[in-house]
């Protein structure tokens, strides 16, 4: 009689260990992203506005900083969604404002499990850099719609805008079911004849307070 494990038998211990490893990997990746961005910011200090030349210098630095943040958030390991894409898929359609302690919605709900919020809290908040984040997408008929994800007021004249495009596919939703996502976010399937679900423009606006 064979003493081997029966083929196809589910091992709950191994499954649990695998899930814990994936969670740990995601956490370590996010910490690495934040560390790289903080190092970049510290290497290039932001100085107060004193003249038009200094103003242009600040804008250039904010542009680089914002691009680095979005590029880092858009990076993904092979076979996994990027943190930026995960934040879009987890979005409930609400917008959040920094209240000096948390990103909070009008109804008092905290923004949790958001890589975008974690990076902005670590990099922008402590340095007095005001910021907004918007999601823009294609509506039926080809028109564009934009909604805030993080909103902290009207940008100044010296604000910079950085954009990153994220592709959503029908296969990004479990069992091809996007109903709850559409109801929560308002983002509809832009092309029901293909696997393309929609193209999301993530707009990050930064300015000095």
Indicate whether 69 pLDDT > 50.
Answer: yes
Give the mean pLDDT of 11-26. 55
Give the mean pLDDT of 40-56. 57
How large a percentage of the chain has pLDDT more than 90?
60
Question: What residue ranges do the domains of the chain occupy?
Answer: 15-208
Conformational region of residue 118, where left means phi above 0, alpha means psi within -120 to 50, and beta covers everything else: alpha
Summarised one tens digit per residue, pLDDT across range 135-186 is 999 997 789 999 999 999 999 988 999 999 999 999 998 866 788 999 999 9
pLDDT score at 142:
84
Output the furthest CA–CA distance in the chain (Å, rounded): 85
Give the mean pLDDT of 186-198. 92
Summarised one tens digit per residue, pLDDT across range 103-143 is 999 999 999 999 999 999 999 998 999 999 999 999 977 89
CA angle 93, 86, 59 (to 5 degrees): 80
Give the mean pLDDT of 191-209. 94
Site of tokens 């990027």? 82
Q: For 3, how many CA atoms within 13 A lie in the half-sphere containing its CB?
A: 0
Indicate whether 65 pLDDT > 70.
Answer: yes
Conformational region of residue 171, where left means phi above 0, alpha means psi within -120 to 50, and beta covers everything else: alpha
CB atoms near residue 87 (< 10 Å): 23
pTM above the 0.85 mark?
no
Give the mean pLDDT of 27-43. 64
Strand partners, 1: none
Q: Which of 60, 67, 109 is nearest to 203 (CA)?
A: 67
pLDDT score at 64:
95
**Least-confidence region, from 39-48, 90-99, 148-157:** 39-48
Comparing 147 with 26, the larger pLDDT belongs to 147
Q: What is the DSSP string of 2-18?
A: --SPPTT---HHHHHHH
Calculate the average pLDDT of the chain: 84
pLDDT score at 106:
94
Joined together, the tokens standing for residue 82 give 């990027």
């Amino acid at each position: 009689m064979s003493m081997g494990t029966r083929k196809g038998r589910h091992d709950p211990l191994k499954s649990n260990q695998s899930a814990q490893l994936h969670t740990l990997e995601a956490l370590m990746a996010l910490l690495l992203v934040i560390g790289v961005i903080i190092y970049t910011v510290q290497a290039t200090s932001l100085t107060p506005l004193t003249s038009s030349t200094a103003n242009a210098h600040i804008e250039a630095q904010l542009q680089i900083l914002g691009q680095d943040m979005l590029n880092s958030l858009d990076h993904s390991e092979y076979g996994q969604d990027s943190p930026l894409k995960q934040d879009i898929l987890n979005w409930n359609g609400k917008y959040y404002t920094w209240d000096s302690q948390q990103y909070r919605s009008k109804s008092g709900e905290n923004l949790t499990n958001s890589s975008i919020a974690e990076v902005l809290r670590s990099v922008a908040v402590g340095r007095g850099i005001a910021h907004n984040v918007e999601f823009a997408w294609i509506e039926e008929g080809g028109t564009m719609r934009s909604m805030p994800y993080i909103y902290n007021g009207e940008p100044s004249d010296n604000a910079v805008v950085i954009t990153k495009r994220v592709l959503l596919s029908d296969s990004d939703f479990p069992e091809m079911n996007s109903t709850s996502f559409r109801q929560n976010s308002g983002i509809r399937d832009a092309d029901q004849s293909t696997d393309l679900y929609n193209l999301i423009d993530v707009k990050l606006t930064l300015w000095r307070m």
